[in-house]
Structure 1
Amino acid sequence: MKLTVKRTGTLVAFALLLAGCTSKPPQSLVTPFPPVAKNPLPTQGKSNEPVRGVWLATVSRLDWPPISSVNASRENRISQQQKALTDKLDKLKNMGINTVFFQVKPDATALWSSKILPWSDTLTGHIGEDPGYDPLQFILDEAHKRGMKVHAWFNPYRVSTNTKPSTVAELNKTLSNQPPSVFVLHRDWIRTANDRYVLDPGIPEARDWITSIVAEVVARYPVDGVQFDDYFYSEAPGATLNDAQTFQKYGQGFASKADWRRHNTQLLIEQVSRSIKQLNPNVEFGVSPAGVWRNRSHDPLGSETSGAAAYDEAFADTRLWVQKGLLDYIAPQVYWPFSRKAARYDVIAKWWADVVKPTHTRLYIGVALYKVGESTKNEPEWTVRGGVPELKKQLDLNESQPNINGTILFREDYFNQPQAQEAVRYIKERWGNSLTL
C-alpha cells in the first residue's frame, strides 16, 4: 500500500516506515507527521553565551563508541559505552566545552530508538541489532545534567561508507528487520558517489524521508539543536553521482543541472527548517558546510580564496540559506591557518561575519583541532609550539568579532592525541576557568 504525500506550504511529510506481513516485502508507508505539541519538549533554552563546542563523530567509531566494546558481552558493552561517554562529557565540561554536536545518523542507521531507521552497526557490529539502551537519550540526560547542550548531528544523504559486497550483504539482511534499511525499502532512491551508497537528492520522496527522520528526533527527544554536515551532493572526480534520469524527470525549467541540484538542496533545508519549527520552535537548526561559499574569481560576492567551494562542489548555496532565514546558525568549516594563501582563516571568517551581519543567523566557526600538532608542508604553523599560537590567533579573532557567536572544534578524539596536548592545556586554561552553561 502506498499513500501519496500532499505538499502544502507548511506541511512536510512525516514517514513512518512499517514492514508488511512476512509473505510480502516491506513497504514504506507515508503518513502526515505529528501535530505540533502544545507543550514542546523541554530544551536548555537559548543563551547569549558564545558556543564552545566540539563535534563527536560516531561514523566508523572515530570518536565513540570504543571499538573494544563492540565484541564485549551485552552487559559489558553497554557499561563500557556509557562510561566512555560520561568520561568524555566530564573531560569536555572541565575544558569549558558547553555544546556537543553528537552524530546520531552517520549513514542510513540510527543511534536512537527509531521507527524509521535500523540501529547503527557502530554500536554492536551489526545493522539493526538493539544495543540495549538508547545512546541519544543517554547523552542528552548526562549532558543536560552537566549543564551542557546537545545538537543532534545528521549526515542527510549517506547510506553507507563503502560499496563492499559485505556491506551490501549486511544491508540486504535488514529486509526482515523492523524497520529495514532504506537500501532495501527504496532501492530506486540509491546511487553511488565517491565510493559510497547515497540517496539521490533530486528525488522528492527521498527528501521527505530525510525530513521525517529529523522530525522523529525533534518530536521525541529534548535535543537543543539539529545540525546537517557538509555532505549534500558528495562527489569526487571519477566518482560522480549519476542523476541523469532524475534530472530528466524533475529538472525541467532549470538553466543547468547545477542550478537544479542547488534547488534540490535548498528544498531539503527549507522543509527540514519548517518541520523543526512546527514541532518545537526552541530547537535550533544549523548546517556546517565547507568553509568557502564561492571564490571571488567565480563570483564577485565570494571570498578572496581559491579551491573547493560549497556552491560549486556540493551544490549548496549556503549564503542564500542564511539570507533567506532558513537557519538559526551556520558553522562553516574553516580548517586553514592565517597564512594559507588559498584559504586564509581570517579572510573566510570575516567574510562569513559580513554575510550574517544583516540577518538573524548566528555564526559559529569550525576550527581544525585535528591539524594541531601535525606537520604539513603547506601549513607548518600547526607544529610551532604545539600549534598554540595559531590556535590562539583563531580563537582571538572569533571572540573579537561581534558577529561570530562561537567556535566548534573538530573533533573530540583529538583531545586525547599526544600531538595536541599543548593545545588541550591552552584550551582548558582559556575556556575551562570561565563560566559555562
Structure 2
Amino acid sequence: MIACSQSFTKVKQLGVLLAGVLSLASCTNEPAKSLVTPLPSVAKQPHPDKSRQSQEPVRGVWLATVSRLDWPPVTSLNASSPAIRIQQQQEALQGKLDKLKTLGINTVFFQVKPDGTALWASKILPWSDVLTGNIGDNPGYDPLQFMLDEAHKRGMKVHAWFNPYRVSVNTKPVTIDKLNRTLSQQPASVYVLHPDWIRTAGERFVLDPGIPEVRDWITSIVAEVVANYDIDGVQFDDYFYAESPGSVLNDSQTFKRYGQHFGAKADWRRDNTKQLVGQVSRTIKKLKPDVEFGVSPSGVWRNHSHDAAGSHTRGAAAYDESYADTRSWVQLGLLDYIAPQLYWPFARDAARYDVLAKWWANVVTSTNTRLYIGVALYKVGIPSKNEPDWMVNGGVQELQKQLDLNESVSQINGTILFRENYLNQPQTQQAVNYLKNRWGS
C-alpha cells in the first residue's frame, strides 16, 4: 500500500472538505490527483532494448481453455484412442494458428492455467481435465510446448495466460468429488493439499488472496513456466477478488490475522493484489528479464464520480469491485504492459470506448508500461438494445472506429481480441474479413 493512501471510507468522512478538493481539482489545469492513490514517483524500469522498442504493434487474440471455450475441441474427448485424441487436439490448434496467421494476428494469449490445473507438465499443479476429461490424467503431450513450437514456427508470440486464484469453475458435488480424487496423485490439487487456503466466491472455489503462502504458491507456478518454457510473456486476467452479490469471499479471519495494520478491509485487499503483482513481476525479471509481464483488468479503474482521477464513466470499477488498484501498478512500474478490457462501443455513454482508451493512454504516459486495448469481438453481430452499434454493417463500422483510434493514439501499442472462437462464428464474418484486409498479409 502506498504510504499516503487513504481508504475511500475515510475519504467519504471528510464531507464538505472533500467536495471542495474535488471542485478545486476540476478548476485547475493540472492533472487530476486521486484521493486514494496519489501519483507516486514512477519506479523507472530498465529501458527495453532497441528490438523491443521497435517491435510492431500487438495484434493479439485471447485463446481460452477454461470450459474448453476455444480449445481443445470437446469432440476430442470422445476419440477412440489417446493417439487419435492427441491428433485431433493438435490439428485443431494448428488450424487455429494457420487462420490467425492469415488474419495478421502476431500474438496469442494462451490460457495455461484456467483454474487449479495446468496445460503444461507441472510439478505443482495436476494436468487439466479440459485435455482428457479427468483432472490429473497425463494427456500424452505437452500442450504449452506444442503451442510454443507451432506459434513460433509461424512467427507468432505466445503469452502464457494465468487465472491466479480460481481453483474450480463451480462448486458442484461432482466437481468436489473430482478434486478429492486427486489426493492420491502427484501432484494433487491444491484443494486437497491446502484446504485452509480454499474459499468460495462467485460460485467457485478460489484461493484466499490474503494468505501470504498463497501468493508465494502462485508465484512459484508462474516461475515454473517462465523457467522451463520459451514463452514471450505472462498475463494475469481480471479475476483477483472475483465475487458476486450472492457469493462473496469470506476472508474475515484472514483479515483478522493479517490485516491488523489496515483501517479498512478494502485497503488490505488492494494491498494483497498489489503484493502478488509485485512479487510475480520481480520473480519474472529475475528469471528472464525479456519475458513480459502484463495484466488485463476490467476497463474502468474508478469512476470520476468517486475519484477526481477516474474516468468519466459509470461502470463497475476494478478498484472498488475486485480490489485491484491497476492505475498504481502502472505508476509503480510493476507491469511491462496493461491490457484493459474496453468492451463497449463509442456510443455507450456509461463507458465510452474512446473516453476509456484515452484515459488509459494518459495513465501510461511517462511510464515504461505499454498499453494494449482489449476489444469485444464477442459482441460483434449480436443484437443488443443498449449497444446496437455492434450490428451495424456486421459490426465493421464499430470495429473500424476502435482500431482507428488505437492506431492514432501514440501511447496505444496494440489491440487484443476477445476471444478466438468468435472468429469462427457466422455473425462475425464481415468483421473477420475486414480484419483480414486490414491486418492480413
The alpha carbon displacement at 1:307 in A equals 2.1
Give, in whole Å, the separation in 2 of the partners of 1:360 and 1:274. Answer: 15
Counterpart selection for 2:55 from 40, 43, 48: 48
Counterpart amino acid of 1:178?
A: Q
The alpha carbon displacement at 1:180 in A equals 0.2
Counterpart amino acid of 2:316?
A: A
Counterpart amino acid of 2:428?
A: A
2:84 aligned with 1:76, yes or no? yes
Match for residue 244 of structure 2? 236
Counterpart amino acid of 1:172?
A: N
Give, in whole Å, the separation in 1 of the partners of 2:52 and 2:200. Answer: 40
2:303 aligned with 1:295, yes or no? yes
Counterpart selection for 2:279 from 255, 271, 282: 271
Match for residue 63 of structure 1? 70
Give, in whole Å, the separation in 2 of the partners of 1:228 and 1:48. Answer: 22
Cα deviation, 1:279-306, whole Å, max 9, x if unaligned, reads 0001000000000000000000000000
Q: Percent identity?
A: 75
Matches within 5 A, 1:9-408: 47-72=54-79, 73-408=81-416
Counterpart amino acid of 1:401?
A: V
Which of structure 1's runs of 4+ aligned residues deviate more than 4 A? 44-47
Q: Is the 8 A contact 1:55 1:410 kept in 2?
A: yes
TM-score (norm 2): 0.88
Give, in whole Å, the separation in 2 of the partners of 1:266 and 1:71. Answer: 43
Q: Is the 8 A contact 1:160 1:197 kept in 2?
A: yes
Cα deviation, 1:229-276, whole Å, max 9, x if unaligned, reads 000000011210000000000001112000000000000000000000
Counterpart amino acid of 1:87?
A: G
Give, in whole Å, the separation in 1 of the partners of 2:94 and 2:154. Answer: 10
Secondary structure of 2:412's counterpart equals coil
Coordinate RMSD, CA, aligned: 0.8
Secondary structure of 1:346's counterpart equals helix
Cα deviation, 1:90-137, whole Å, max 9, x if unaligned, reads 000000000000000000000000000000000000000000000000
The alpha carbon displacement at 1:48 in A equals 2.1
Count, aligned residues: 390
Give, in whole Å, the separation in 2 of the partners of 1:397 and 1:239. Answer: 38
Q: Is the 8 A contact 1:55 1:102 kept in 2?
A: yes
Structure 1: gaps spanning 5 or more residues:
1-43
Q: Is the 8 A contact 1:71 1:124 kept in 2?
A: no
Give, in whole Å, the separation in 2 of the partners of 1:261 and 1:77. Answer: 43
Match for residue 8 of structure 1? none
Secondary structure of 2:315's counterpart equals coil
Give, in whole Å, the separation in 2 of the partners of 1:384 and 1:367. Answer: 17
Secondary structure of 1:405's counterpart equals strand
Cα deviation, 1:309-349, whole Å, max 9, x if unaligned, reads 10000000000000000000000000000000000000000
The alpha carbon displacement at 1:45 in A equals 6.5
Counterpart amino acid of 1:190?
A: I
Give, in whole Å, the separation in 1 of the partners of 2:252 and 2:78. Answer: 43
Counterpart amino acid of 2:217?
A: W
Q: Is the 8 A contact 1:227 1:285 kept in 2?
A: yes
Match for residue 6 of structure 1? none
Bigger share in helix = 2
User: Measured at CA, do residues 141 and 45 of structure 1 come closer, stay the same or move farther in structure 2, by a change above 3 Å?
Assistant: farther
Counterpart amino acid of 2:326?
A: T
Give, in whole Å, the separation in 2 of the partners of 1:162 and 1:274. Answer: 32
Match for residue 432 of structure 1? 440
Counterpart amino acid of 1:62?
A: L
Secondary structure of 1:239's counterpart equals coil
Give, in whole Å, the separation in 1 of the partners of 2:315 and 2:287. Answer: 39
Give, in whole Å, the separation in 2 of the partners of 1:140 and 1:396. Answer: 30
